[in-house]
Amino acid sequence: MCGVYLFLSVICILFTNSLEYEVPPVLVQAYSPKGLSVSIPDEDGISLFAFHGKINQEMDGREAGTYSVDILKPRDGRWTYTNRAAKLKPGDVIYYWVNVDYDDGEGKRGYIKDDQSFTVTELLDVNALGGLLNTKPSSTTTTTTTRRPTKTTKAPTTKPTCQLSATLFNGKNRCTGDLIFEDNFSGSLSTQKWKNEIKFADDPDYEFVLYQNNRENIYVENNRLYIRPSLTEDKYGVGFVSNQNGLDLGETCTGVLGSLECRQKPKAFLILPPVISSQITTKDSFSFTYGIVEIRARLPKGDWIYPELYLRSKTEPYGPGLSSGLIRIAFLPGNADSSKQLSGGCLLGQTLSARNYAVKTVRSEMNWNDAFHIFKMQWTPDGITLLVDDRVYGNIHPPEGGFFEERATLGLETATVERWKKGSSFAPFDQEMYLQLGVGVGGQCFTDRSDGTKPWSSDDPKAQIYFYRAQSTWSETWSSDSALIVDYVKVWAV
């Protein structure tokens, strides 16, 4: 019997320990020209986060360290220690330990993660953190003696100050951290914020799509936006893509009237788009220069489908299409063999090099379109930072003299890059842009494959008909999961 009791006791101890709270992953980031931030995600039960660290010198056990401070409240969903005075360089090592006070309902306890280190491999732009480092720098000799104020202690009230940011909205610089756009898709799609595009797809991706405002392609349900593609012939009948009468969108067309964006007529191998989808923009209601864009969404599944989570140029000051740049907040082919590699970044032109030069990617063991994720893009005058679920996976900065220095690498016409010289070193990404949400299919967004699994070549004028002829193959992969589902869209001043 004693052996049985001992066995049960051991099981009990192991089970209890398995449920014990664990300090969440610590995010350490270093900035240029100066700055350090250390943070953990917020969750119910945390009442204090303490950081103790040294640079290039190992900690002597749980000593206070050179940097030592208690953080008493979270900000923007994270418990964050920031220091604007810390000057770091690649190769520096931060040795540290952290303490978290956590209440699991049975009382508050301190949980420690010690013997930690972080090696600086790159410096992030200090302006790209949306005001995170706009707090008073902590003393580098502070010891951890800070405690929570008692209930009778009242913090002095101060009037919030406005630190003007680089963000331009409605012709004025906005305060750092200002929320300048938000849509949670409550009830129905706001026609005051969004405009449905009704047109044939054209520059820059020439996707095989006719954009319309149909209930089966775009709708709001349970406070989420759904955009899904469908087959053109499911709506208009078999053989419609080759109908000699063509399709004229008339006055409802939002493209250039009289152009191929508004009217197309099949001829020989030229057919109408085999896919109908939807696309919405804020071009007429909201545009800005520099900011932080955050979109929570689940990306679509299905061969040759992709999400259009973009920033587009409002006035195209450097020329039409990609000459004035395009920013992808998040991009993912819906093909099963491609769904583990998420990408985002800047498109500089139509050549393969210009499309990929300023694009960053992040791989996952799981498919990125299996669940909702938070896609974030921080755009400043110096560059762009890309994040997914608050994890930085890419930083894009122009060469010292600007992107036009890379004209040979990009393979662009001289006239195009010469126009960029009229702007800043970050041209063409130094201008007013607007939001675009949609779902595209095919076109120029997919590189050619040598194994023949891609049914068209990007530079082939017959691409659309070849894609259409393979419809029985790719349409079988489409399902109810082929929709882009957007939970919310938010934009802040940097």
pLDDT tens for the 494 residues of the chain, in order: 444 444 444 444 443 444 578 899 899 999 988 889 999 999 888 988 989 888 998 887 777 677 877 788 898 889 999 888 788 988 889 999 898 988 877 777 778 888 899 998 888 887 755 444 433 333 333 333 333 333 344 444 554 679 999 999 998 999 999 999 999 999 899 999 999 999 999 999 999 999 999 999 999 999 999 999 999 999 999 999 999 999 999 999 999 999 999 999 999 999 999 999 999 999 999 999 999 999 999 999 999 999 999 999 999 999 999 999 999 999 999 999 999 999 999 999 999 999 999 999 999 999 999 999 999 999 999 999 999 999 999 999 999 989 999 999 999 999 999 999 999 999 999 999 999 999 999 999 999 998 889 999 999 999 999 999 999 999 999 999 999 999 999 999 99
Domain boundaries for CATH 2.60.120.200 within the chain:
181-492
Q: CATH code for 23-129?
A: 2.60.40.2140
Report residue 23 as tokens.
Answer: 């300090």
147, HSE (Cβ side, Cα atoms, 13 Å): 5
- Answer for the pair 372, 297: CB distance below 8 angstroms, yes or no: yes
- Answer for the pair 61, 53: CB distance below 8 angstroms, yes or no: no
- Answer for the pair 43, 104: CB distance below 8 angstroms, yes or no: no
Q: Say how many Å lie between the first and final Cα of the chain, rounded.
A: 67
CA 280 to chain centre: 18
| Class of 181-492 in CATH | mainly beta
- Answer for the pair 40, 79: CB distance below 8 angstroms, yes or no: yes
Strand, coil or helix: 407: helix
- Cα(286)–Cα(489) distance, integer angstroms: 13
Domain boundaries for CATH 2.60.40.2140 within the chain:
23-129
User: Global pTM?
Assistant: 0.70
